[in-house]
Amino acid sequence: MQKIAVLRPLNLLIIIFTLLCLRFFLVEPMLTGVTNGLGVGIDPQLNYLQLALLTASILFIAAGGYVANDMADVEIDQINKPGKNMIGILISQKNALRLYYALTGLGILLSLALAVYIWNYNLAIVQTAIAVSLYFYAFYFKKTFFPGNFIVALAVAAVPFTYGVYEIIPLQEVYIFIQEDYPEFNFNFLAYWMLGFTAFAFVITLSREITKDIQDLKGDSQFGSKSLPAVMGITFSRIVIVVLYLLSIWGLSYLYFNYLRDGATLVYFSILGFLFFVLIIVTILAKTSRHFARVSDLNKLVSLLGVLYTAVVTYMMSNIES
């Protein structure tokens, strides 16, 4: 079981959870609403097998990225997380490298198989780009100033973005005939939702990565890592994290007052906004590595609650239909 930990099974479950929420709580209810409104049957473009292939390709690439990350952190983790990194203890560096190549290669192959299955080869570029980014992050940018955090945030944000690409581009191609009767209709509304979840994932992941860098500052400094806290200091890093959380609160407020003025969204966004304020406070007050670890855990909880907003979307669509 300890060997499995290198794959970050909890994080992989979160990826599955995110994709399922986007499919069943966002895309399907919205397309059902459009179907009822236009009187034209519109279905998601990925069937369940294709969705499973997409999910598997993302999972394998993500798991490979986690293995590469642990390979790059063997020495640092001896100080920051003694006994938790299994590379060099239960898994040799050589076998870990083989596992990384196997997982990443399988993920890319599955993306190619899916691209062939749906007759759109260009879509496989998305997962390949993610795999390449994770490779450069782990082996080149992980110990550099800020680009490493940026790449990780992009990789996490790529989960909703990738699913959106695989659904929206085919939808636009298959249902182009609808524009003959409804010239102003397009699927941009769905793209905006996907971009919203993508932006949320990016901002909250970037803040969590900087928080983790503060948590790991002791080991990072000893091995020459040029993370944001190591270069600019903890105070400056706190300010960046707080600004990111304030940006999230502003984003929620902007969406509510300009686009989503319903009661359910008000309650949900108020809860998220309150939790972001809590994150700001605990980030400012955190002193030790353990404190910052708890901030990181709370950040992950907020990110999950952000994904669960898709259930509110389902509720809103059901009210419109009734």
Full 3-state SS string of the chain: CCHHHHHCHHHHHHHHHHHHHHHHHHHHHHHHHHHHHHCCCCCCCCCHHHHHHHHHHHHHHHHHHHHHHHHHCHHHHHHHCCCCCCECCCECHHHHHHHHHHHHHHHHHHHHHHHHHCCCHHHHHHHHHHHHHHHHHHHHHCCCCCHHHHHHHHHHHHHHHHHHHHHHHHHHHHCCCHHHHCCCCCCHHHHHHHHHHHHHHHHHHHHHHHHHHHHCHHHHHHCCCCCHHHHHCHHHHHHHHHHHHHHHHHHHHHHHHHCCCCHHHHHHHHHHHHHHHHHHHHHHHCCCHHHHHHHHHHHHHHHHHHHCHHHHHHHHHHHHHC
The whole-number average pLDDT for the span 29-46 is 88
The whole-number average pLDDT for the span 197-217 is 93
pLDDT tens column, 248-283:
999 999 999 999 989 999 999 999 999 999 999 999
pLDDT tens column, 208-257:
999 998 988 876 666 667 778 888 899 999 999 999 999 999 999 999 99
Instruction: Supply the pLDDT for residue 220.
Output: 63
Instruction: Supply the pLDDT for residue 125.
Output: 86
Instruction: Supply the pLDDT for residue 27.
Output: 96
pLDDT tens column, 288-302:
989 999 999 999 999
State which of 23-27, 91-95, 225-229 shows the largest mean pLDDT: 23-27
Q: Which pTM value belongs to this model?
A: 0.91
Instruction: Supply the pLDDT for residue 50.
Output: 95
